[in-house]
Amino acid sequence: MDIDLMMRVYPFFLEAAWTTILLSVLTALLGLACGALGAAARLSRFTSLRLLGATYVSIFRGTPALIQLFILYFGGPQVGIQLDAFEAGVIGLGINAGAYMTETIRGAIISIDKGQREAARTLGLSQFQAFYKVILPQAARLMVRPLGVNLNMLIKATALVAAISVVELTYTAQRYIGSTYKPFEMFLLAGVLYMIIIYATGRGVSWLDRKVRIT
């Protein structure tokens, strides 16, 4: 193992790790927004919206995220969408993650007992109030853990943007593997950084889950 080489290149990996973190945060935020909208559509009273939500989930979960990224980044200019690689990465991965989060959020909401809504309505709350004051606060607690799983997958999925040459961890590893022919060392550097990010995120999610849990 070439420790000297690793010491020499690790600042570049550290910098790339920040890009991976930034990419993960932005993607997670966009994913949550898409997931909330998607879940709202899937639970809507209107058949057309429900159909739209179901189509969104089916298409984005039914095709590879890599292909979705390629369509957006390479195909986008043909239909007038010009994005740089980082923007395309965030938007592509965010919309993709949103499809998975739609199902997570929807699952948590429909698992709240129907009696809760009925009781709230009986007490004189409007449909809207019943949802925001009774259903959602309970469902939100149930979402934390499964959204944490979505987040874990999302962080690993950010590696895909290496294929559209965003300089994040995997791209950096790939570039140094190419120039140094030391795959194990480069994998070790990138792998450790990924594991730190994922471990820290997992701890954060467990902490939040414990904090919001009603005992």
Residues that bind other proteins (CB under 8 A): 59, 62-68, 70-71, 74-79, 156-160, 162-163, 169-170, 173-174, 177, 181-184, 187, 190-191, 194-195, 198-199
**Cβ(168)–Cβ(162) below 8 Å:** yes
Smallest separation (angstroms) from other proteins to the CB of 66: 4
Q: Which residue has the tokens 């809760």?
A: 116
Q: Of the two residues 143 and 186, which places its CB atom closer to other proteins in the complex? A: 186
Which two structure tokens, joined as six digits, stand for 199?
Answer: 């471990």
Burial class (CB in 10 A: 0-12, 13-18, 19+), 69: buried
Smallest separation (angstroms) from other proteins to the CB of 184: 5
Smallest separation (angstroms) from other proteins to the CB of 31: 17
Question: Which residues, in sequence order, are CB contacts of 133 under 8 Å at separation 6+?
Answer: 120, 125
Q: Of the two residues 61 and 133, which places its CB atom closer to other proteins in the complex? A: 61
Smallest separation (angstroms) from other proteins to the CB of 204: 15
Q: Of the two residues 94 and 130, which places its CB atom closer to other proteins in the complex? A: 94
* Terminal C-alpha separation, the chain: 50
Q: Which of 112, 132, 130 is nearest to 121 (CA)?
A: 130
Smallest separation (angstroms) from other proteins to the CB of 73: 8
Q: Which of 171, 174, 148, 145 is nearest to 158 (CA)?
A: 171
Which two structure tokens, joined as six digits, stand for 94?
Answer: 């965010």
Q: Which residue has the tokens 């590696």?
A: 159
